[in-house]
Amino acid sequence: MTDTYVLAPSPGVPRAAVNTGAGLRVSSLLVAGRMVRKFARTPQLIVFTTIQSALFLFVFRFAFGGAIGTGGSLSYVNFLVPGFIATTILWAGMGAATGVAEDVEHGFIDRLRSLPIPRAAVLIGRSLADLALMVWSLAIAAIFGFAVGFRLTGSISEALAAFGLCVLFGFAFEWVFMVIGLVGGTARAAQSMGMMITPLVFLSSAYVPVKSMPTGVRQFSEIQPVTPMINAVRGLATGARGAALLEHSTGYYVGLSLAWAAAIFVVFGLLAFLRFARR
């Protein structure tokens, strides 16, 4: 054991007061408020991803669309747009992963972690703000969909249910991206890790019917979580014609996608908290 160095005090100095810290609700809202201001004041965060997704939709609708058969009486544009809207969740989520990683990289997360607030507030606040952004992206995607010729063939209430399902699924998937951002640690790493999600987008029923895929790929598409969600959204938004393409009833896919959302939320929510609490 070495000698301990003891530094002498200065006499007569006052003591600063103890900071009590904000509670879970207030601190979550403050963290969310910061994110909302960041989004609102940094339009380039949203504008380019929006343009990108519009181009994407345009290409599938007008360049590839003519060659893709839906295998039923549903028109391709009505097939495509529900899938396009649903996959917006994943594209928006990749941005969220990069944002979280940037906060880790630039010490912002460390600063928040050194404050006398519940650590959960940092994640909850962040997820609330990302959810708001996701609803915004979904709304824009829906507008684009109608602009390229999509028409609802189901009821309005079913269409709203489809939108709600997207929001719910989006919230669950946010935690996947939160984990990616925290683990990635740098914006660049998080972006690369986020790209691992793309097979879930393309190897799904979003752009082409899974029936057209070779057996192995088709099996993957059918068991992965994004396909049931897209099927549910499509069934709800396009009524009987859309439902006719599905192997099971729309209700079955709604149930399955809700189960997936719950499972993803629980697993990745827990991972995010564990990762965040680690020190």
Partner 1 sequence: MTPILEARGLMKRYGKTQALAGLDLVVNPGRVVALLGPNGAGKTTFVRAVATLLRPDAGTLHVDGIDALRKPAKVRQVIGLAGQFAAVEEAMSGRENLEMVGRLFGLSRKEAKAAAVTVLDQMQLTADADRLVRTYSGGMRRRIDLGISLVGTPRLLLLDEPTAGLDPGSRIHLWDAIRSLVVTGTDILLTTQYLDEADQLASDIVIIDHGKVIAAGTPAELKTRAGDDMIEVHVRDADDLPAVSGVLAKIGHNPRADLPQRRAYVAVDDGSSGLMDTLRVLDSHGITVEDVSLRRPTLDEVFLALTGRPAQTTDSPRQHARA
C-alpha span between 120 and 130 (Å, rounded): 15
Shortest distance, position 192 Cβ to partner 1, whole Å:
19
* Residue 128 to residue 25: CA distance in whole angstroms: 12
Among positions 24, 54, 68, 115, the unique one binding partner 1 when judged by CB under 8 A: 115
Q: Give the integer Cα–Cα distance in Å for 265 and 39.
A: 24
Q: Are 207 and 83 within 8 A, CB to CB?
A: yes
* Nearer to partner 1 among residue 21 and residue 69 (C-beta): 21
Residue type, 43: P
Q: Nearest approach, Cβ of 103 to partner 1 (angstroms)?
A: 9
Given 69, 116, 164, 251, the residue binding partner 1 (CB under 8 A):
116
Q: From CA 78, how far away is CA 67, in angstroms rounded?
A: 15
For residues 4 to 43, the per-residue mask of contacts with partner 1, x marking binding by CB under 8 A and - elsewhere, is xxxxxxxxxxxxxxxxxxx---xx--x--xx--xx--xx-
Q: How far is CA 37 from CA 30, 33, 43, 220, in A?
A: 11, 6, 10, 40
Give the residue with the Cβ less far from partner 1, 114 or 157. 114
CB of 113 to partner 1, least distance (A): 6
How many residues of this chain interact with partner 1, rule: CB under 8 A?
43
Residues engaged in binding partner 1 (CB under 8 A): 1-22, 26-27, 30, 33-34, 37-38, 41-42, 106-108, 110-117, 279
